[in-house]
Amino acid sequence: MKKVVQVVLISGFFMSFAGFRPVDKKWEKPFSKLDNEVRRNSKAYATLEEATKTIGHRLTGSANGEKAEEYAFKLLKSYGFTDVVYQPFEVEAWMRDTVTLSIAPGSSDNFRDVPVVSLAHSPVESNLKGEIVDVGNGLDEDFAAVKEKVKGKVVLANINLVGASGKKNLHRSEKTALAIKYGATGVIMVNGAPGKILLTGTASVTGAIISIPAVCISSESGIEVRKWLKEEGPLEAHIDMHNVSKPIKARNVIATLRGKSDEKVIIGGHLDSWDLATGAIDNGIGSFAVMDIARTFKAIKVKPEKTIQFVLFMGEEQGLLGSKHFVSELKKSGNIDKVSYMMNLDMTNDPRGVNAFGREEMNNFFATVGTAIQQIDAGYKNETINRAGLHSDHQPFMLEGIPIAGLSGHLDPNVLQCYHADCDDFSLVNKDQLESTVRIAAMYLYALTNTQDIAVKKLSDQKTRDFLISQGLKEELVIGQEWRWEQ
């Protein structure tokens, strides 16, 4: 699932604190040790290369997904962790089979085939013909503007925002939910990446099978279809789709580094990927960074004040399945209140700063730590963002009021356009930028786990509600059926 506001690609106002505060010398020695260890001995790049070559994609519930779980488990064991466990869960999961899309003028049988890929959680079987109605960016206001035309039709919508400066985009699953709400019989999403790239991802806000077929076409095909609409009038789409939905078993992989207290800081990233490519960027660079941070802490014999759990989540792409299960188990065991922080690495790359996810009281702490990092790495920008978002494994934790941390960074456009696509392979990975993620994240993690009195605490249920409203997330959570409070 991806990812309207991610811990790696977050636009917004940057506040740079570099040069405005004295350096806290207590971090100098441990940060230097972490930095040196990663620079000399990092295994992140080599292990990710090996995994992409020997495993391939890491789709949850598939044979490849199981191999990835075993690879992570054995790797963490090899780094000296004695406390590594699988956390199994069982869910109904979706897998693609075949799909075709053909389009013809409404009064003609002259159908033209259009390259297409199914969006996850589309129906198991669908053979649909329907007139195409263009809803532009697919926001609620776009649907409302043509609501009389949408019912019983196949809607065409942009995945990215086009010509809508200043507006907030919705996730593809939320746009699909709106299509269903307004009575559409199918959805054709237009990828924002230039050229012929096809993108997949879930079209379901709940992780359950949706009632209408949803597919994605390339940007190039979208331009062509809109040209046909303009020149030839009404168009009819024919979607012939076959998918699989079945119960599957998957496992989160958890390595624990015991601290002096049972208060926990969790650092995680999703190990799973979609099946169109190897998922080297989404989220190989995040999950393999998490494992190399774990290796680094073991290698230099870190003895943290707080207990650290390094978690490789499965099922993120299919609806945050693994992280939801993890949080559910914390609640069942009564240990949810022991989690003081969650740090999520999802497509994190070449860090420039930190995102405090809307918790303003952490600005000073993160800026101070960032200044200390700059003494070790003069190229680090120490930029602070403070904006919460959804659609990655931090979300179930954030909805319980747990503070979230992430790194803001940079991915080249040619890399980012392969997100969820058939071009997401190891050739896109930059070794130095990946190892920078390991180094910078390790330093922030060390600070979070070795600071006794952090200004931010877990929010109460009512304060969590107010916080989510203040961050502008209520609409998305309502559409996604995740809003548990009265509307």
Q: Read off the pLDDT of residues 102-115 as tens digits, 9 standing for 90 and up.
A: 999 977 778 999 99
Question: How far is the C-alpha of 130 from the C-alpha of 117, rounded, in Å?
Answer: 18
pLDDT tier, 25 (very low <50, low <70, confident <90, very high otherwise):
confident
Tell me what pLDDT residue 23 has: 63
**Which DSSP state fits 205?**
S
Tell me what pLDDT residue 6 has: 40
**Which DSSP state fits 300?**
T
Q: What is the pLDDT of residues 173-194, one digit of tens each?
A: 999 999 999 999 999 999 999 9
Average pLDDT, whole number, for the chain? Answer: 94
Question: How far is the C-alpha of 203 from the C-alpha of 205, rounded, in Å?
Answer: 7
The answer to whether 305 and 290 are in contact (CB under 8 A) is no
pLDDT tier, 139 (very low <50, low <70, confident <90, very high otherwise):
very high
Q: What six digits make up the tokens of 322?
A: 């693994």
N- to C-terminal Cα separation, the chain = 25
More reliable by pLDDT, 272 or 233: 272
Q: What six digits make up the tokens of 364?
A: 């000073």
Angle, helices 431-449/44-54, rounded to nearest 10 degrees: 120
The percentage of residues in the chain with a pLDDT greater than 90, rounded to a whole number, is: 90
More reliable by pLDDT, 454 or 134: 134
- Tokens 């696509």 belong to 421
* Residue partners of 400: CB distance under 8 A and separation at least 6: 327, 331, 336, 458, 464
pLDDT at 474 over 60: yes
| Three-state secondary structure call for residue 285 | helix
The domain defined by 15-83+258-479 folds into: Aminopeptidase (3.40.630)
Alpha helix (H) residue ranges in 389-453? 395-398, 413-416, 431-449
Question: How far is the C-alpha of 91 from the C-alpha of 324, rounded, in Å?
Answer: 12
**Beta strand residue intervals within 170-260, DSSP E:** 186-190, 214-217, 235-257
Q: Parse the chain into domains and list their residue ranges.
A: 15-83+258-479, 94-245
Q: What angle do CA 39, 290, 452 make, to 5 degrees?
A: 95
Question: Which conformational region is residue 379 in: left (phi greater than 0), alpha (psi within -120 to 50 degrees), or beta?
Answer: alpha
Mean pLDDT of 352-378: 96
pLDDT tier, 98 (very low <50, low <70, confident <90, very high otherwise):
very high
Tell me what pLDDT residue 9 has: 36
pLDDT tier, 452 (very low <50, low <70, confident <90, very high otherwise):
confident
Tell me what pLDDT residue 24 has: 72
Tell me what pLDDT residue 15 has: 41
Question: How far is the C-alpha of 456 from the C-alpha of 361, rounded, in Å?
Answer: 6
- Tokens 């039709």 belong to 153
The answer to whether 319 and 206 are in contact (CB under 8 A) is yes
Question: How far is the C-alpha of 22 from the C-alpha of 120, rounded, in Å?
Answer: 50
Distances (CA, A) of 193 to 113, 187, 414: 20, 18, 9
Q: What is the pLDDT of residues 151-167, one digit of tens each?
A: 999 999 999 999 988 89
Domain 94-245 has CATH 3.50.30.30: yes
Q: What six digits make up the tokens of 210?
A: 């949706």
Q: What angle do CA 175, 179, 182 make, to 5 degrees?
A: 135
Segment (H or E) for 98: strand 84-105
Maximum distance among all alpha carbons in the chain?
75
Tell me what pLDDT residue 224 has: 96
Mean pLDDT of 258-271: 97
**Domain 15-83+258-479 matches domain 94-245 at the CATH topology level:** no
pLDDT tier, 13 (very low <50, low <70, confident <90, very high otherwise):
very low
**Is the CA virtual torsion 293, 432, 278, 161 positive or negative?**
positive
Tell me what pLDDT residue 22 has: 56
pLDDT at 36 over 80: yes
